[in-house]
Structure 1
């Protein structure tokens, strides 16, 4: 490796981007950070224009996920995945990506990535990574669920997803709200997000809504919106700033 890799850091969390920028500064022989991006849309523009050789890529982002971003790129850089969720087993990506790091990334763990990069010396084909992502996307599409099973006492109930107004994070689990009941599922919002059909949208870190139950959307300050649902309570949900692109895309504005 004669020159450091021209690198872009992609993460929707400012603190995560700043942390990676600080950590990569310890390895100037390996990383030349030329830009950072706060979401998939921003990243796509910067990658296609700046043509980095390497990217640090968050998986869970509003709008375009890390995987969806890679599927839309004109050319593939080398990829180091970053995720806060180690339940992404990512075995396919262990071999096809340079590495994957569980957040918060630690200096000693990044050092192992650097050693791997030095050994590779630029000899890495990212095309197989793209093929693995497309294969995973096809499998995910085939496994979209239509109902969710919940337990109340000794009984199991099957809730049709078309009857669910929204999901709300509850520690490691999620609450399910219908027009008449509230249930608890052991699935986290992140797990649900990979399984739910397209009429569900994550509008903040702690809530996924059923878009078919939206009555109206009003602009709020700081690039946020207030969404009112069509239930008796007229539930009002304030969206997160980092989800504005996904929400605008859904509204077609």
Structure 2
């Protein structure tokens, strides 16, 4: 009997997908409903499901991060409200993606692909070209607006940080610490909101509370327990990398 987990940080979409799956694929057992990426990664490690339905944008580890971390241990179907993530979803090993709000017709198509994958593992990519053609038609919206400046109030002074000079962001309870090549400050905006305006090619999330500029990293070190720390050019500060983001630093 096939089984799966569902990961979504919002209750309603998670419960609705569970209901739709129960109707369309009654043989499928849902082993767990997860509220964030770290919980999903733990559930996949512990329960070893056949399938994981992962929301792409979740607090902490994203669905993409979870997919990279599990490295093909289960079939991945991404759910997302944003078309622009779909190509990266296939690069992360997804068999399909479902655009929210999920329709029953589209879910039925995904279930059919999952069943074909289970029955014929060697022919799993037979309809990938069709999916990519569909994406090519859909992914023509303008790119999301990127942050160019970060402003922070320090007493009666407003500090301005050009985003290209920022080395890393670090969550600090209700604030976010912004560290640049020459200065630092705290802003009231939470890290999870700032992430939406950062280019994921330039800024890498390496921990639930840390986002670092990729080209500021000088080296990553692994200790005897396998824990990774990152060193930045021109700074003594070392940043911890959590397990879910360790895949970024695997050698080629």
Scaled by the length of structure 1, the TM-score of the pair is: 0.55
2:204 to 201, 204, 210: 201
Contact 2:69–2:245 (CA<8 Å) still a contact in 1? no
Structure 1 residue 224: Cα displacement: 2.9
Determine the C-alpha separation between the residues in 1 that align with 2:88 and 2:27.
23
Change (3 A) 1:68 1:148: same
Determine the C-alpha separation between the residues in 1 that align with 2:233 and 2:177.
18
Tell me the SS of whatever aligns to 2:96.
Answer: coil
Contact 1:169–1:175 (CA<8 Å) still a contact in 2? yes
Determine the C-alpha separation between the residues in 2 that align with 1:209 and 1:181.
15
1:4 aligns with 2:26: yes
Unaligned runs of 5+ in 2: 1-22, 55-64, 111-130
Unaligned runs of 5+ in 1: 23-32, 60-64, 80-91, 99-119
Residues matched between the structures, number: 188
Scaled by the length of structure 2, the TM-score of the pair is: 0.55
Determine the C-alpha separation between the residues in 1 that align with 2:228 and 2:40.
23
Q: Which residue of 1 aligns with 2:3?
A: none
Q: Which residue of 2 aligns with 1:13?
A: 38
Change (3 A) 1:145 1:73: same
Structure 1 residue 139: Cα displacement: 2.9
Q: Which residue of 1 aligns with 2:117?
A: none
Residue by residue over 1:164-193, the C-alpha shift from the partner in whole angstroms, topping out at 9 and shown as x without a partner, is 221110113210112442211222222222
Deviates more, 1:193-202 or 1:68-77: 68-77
1:162 aligns with 2:164: yes
RMSD: 4.4
Q: Which residue of 2 aligns with 1:101?
A: none
Give matches, 1:39-50, under 5 Å: 39-41=66-68, 45=72
